[in-house]
Structure 1
Amino acid sequence: MKEKTIDYVLRATWMAVSKMYNEEAGKAGSTMATGFALLSIDPEEGTPSTSLGPKMGMEATSLSRILKTMEEKGLIVRKKNPNDGRSVLIHLTEFGKEMRDYSKRVVLRFDEAVKENVSDKDLKTFIQVANTILELIGEKKIYREEIKIR
C-alpha cells in the first residue's frame, strides 16, 4: 500500500511502545506484562483475581501464567478474600510494591516525553480519535455486515 492505513500506524506504534516497555522492564528483570499487572493491582487492598483479567483485557490462561511467574518472583501473594471465601485477592509484597513504583515511573516518564514533544491540542485530538476508535469497536459499528470473500 502506498499510504499507511490507520491500522498500520496503530499497530506499528503499539509494537514500538511495547518493545520500549519490555526493554525498560528487562533492565529490572521484568516484562511489560508483569509491569501492567503490577499497576492493575491495588497496592493497599489487593485485587480480586477474577477482576484482573477484564481490567487488563487479558484471557484467563495468559493472566494465570503471569500471576504464577509473579508469585515465583516474590512480587505477589494470594490470600483468601475475607468478604467471599470462594475468591482470592492478589496482594503485592514489599518487593511487588517496589516494582510497581518502578513500573509507574516508567509509564509516567513515557507520558512526560510525549507531552514534551506533542502540543496539548494534538494530544487532545489523539486521545479523542483513540476514544472514537474504541467506541466504534466496542459498539460493533465497524463490521455490521459481513465482508464478502471473492
Structure 2
Amino acid sequence: MSFIDRDKWYGSLIKRIYRNVDLIFSQYGAKFGLNTSQLQVLVSLWTSENRGLTQKELVEILGFKPASVTALINSMESKGLIYRKLDPQDARVNRIFLTMKGIEMEEFHLKQVDVIEKCLTYNFTDDELKVMQIQLKKMLNNLETSLENVKIHS
C-alpha cells in the first residue's frame, strides 16, 4: 500500500481548512438555532448595499438551488430574522430584508469572524498575507474559469 501525502495537494489543504472553519461556524450558529446556510443568508443581507435582496439574487450569491433558498427564507422568516416586501419597481418580486433581530446579530457575528480570521492568520507577516490573498484569488479564478469552460464544452 502506498502512502499519499495529502499535504501536497492544495485542494486537500483548502478542503481541510474549510471543514474546520465550517465546524466553528456550525457551533457558533447552533447557539442561535441557525445552520451555516442560514448564516450565509444573513451575511449576504448584511453586506448588500440596501440590505434587501431578491430570492434570485440570493440563489446567485449562495450557489444554492431555488427550492433550498425558499426553504431557508421560510425558516428564517419564522424565526423573525428576515421579512419579505414587494419590490416597488416590480410587484412580481419580493425582496428579502433583515428584521431588527437579524440586524442586531451582525456585530456579534463579525466579532466571531474576526476571531476566526485571527486564528487562520496567526504567525503570518503582513507581506505573507498579501501574497497569500493574491494566490488564493488566482486559484479561485482558475477554478471559476475552468468551471465555465466545462459548462461550455459539455
Bin of the TM-score, shorter chain as denominator length = 0.7 to 0.9
Instruction: Note if contact 2:83-2:98 (Cα within 8 Å) is conserved in structure 1.
Output: yes
Computed over aligned residues only, the root mean square deviation of the Cα atoms, in angstroms, reads 2.3
Aligned to 1:148: none
Instruction: Note if contact 1:76-1:92 (Cα within 8 Å) is conserved in structure 2.
Output: yes
Instruction: Note if contact 2:21-2:116 (Cα within 8 Å) is conserved in structure 1.
Output: no
Deviations 1:37-79 (A, max 9, x none): 1111148541222111111222222222211110110101111
Instruction: Note if contact 1:80-1:89 (Cα within 8 Å) is conserved in structure 2.
Output: yes
Which ranges in structure 2 are unaligned for 5 or more consecutive residues? none
What is the rounded CA distance, in whole Å, between the counterparts of 1:77 and 1:62 in structure 2? 17
The one-letter amino acid paired with 2:103 is K
Counterparts of residues 77-92 of structure 1 (less than 5 Å): 77-92=83-98
What is the rounded CA distance, in whole Å, between the counterparts of 2:29 and 2:145 in structure 1? 34
Corresponding pairs, count? 144
What is the rounded CA distance, in whole Å, between the counterparts of 1:105 and 1:57 in structure 2? 25
Instruction: Note if contact 2:29-2:36 (Cα within 8 Å) is conserved in structure 1.
Output: yes
Which ranges in structure 1 are unaligned for 5 or more consecutive residues? 145-150
What is the rounded CA distance, in whole Å, between the counterparts of 1:126 and 1:65 in structure 2? 36
Shift of 1:91: 0.8
What is the rounded CA distance, in whole Å, between the counterparts of 1:92 and 1:108 in structure 2? 22
Q: Which has the higher helix share?
A: 2
Deviations 1:64-121 (A, max 9, x none): 2211110110101111001111111001111111123332222122223334432212
TM-score by length of 2: 0.81
Corresponding position: 1:3 with 2:35? no
What is the rounded CA distance, in whole Å, between the counterparts of 1:59 and 1:129 in structure 2? 29
Choose 128-137 or 12-21, whichever is displaced more.
128-137
Aligned to 1:126: 132
Match of 1:76 among 78, 82, 96: 82
Corresponding position: 1:56 with 2:62? yes
4+ residue runs over 6 A deviation:
none
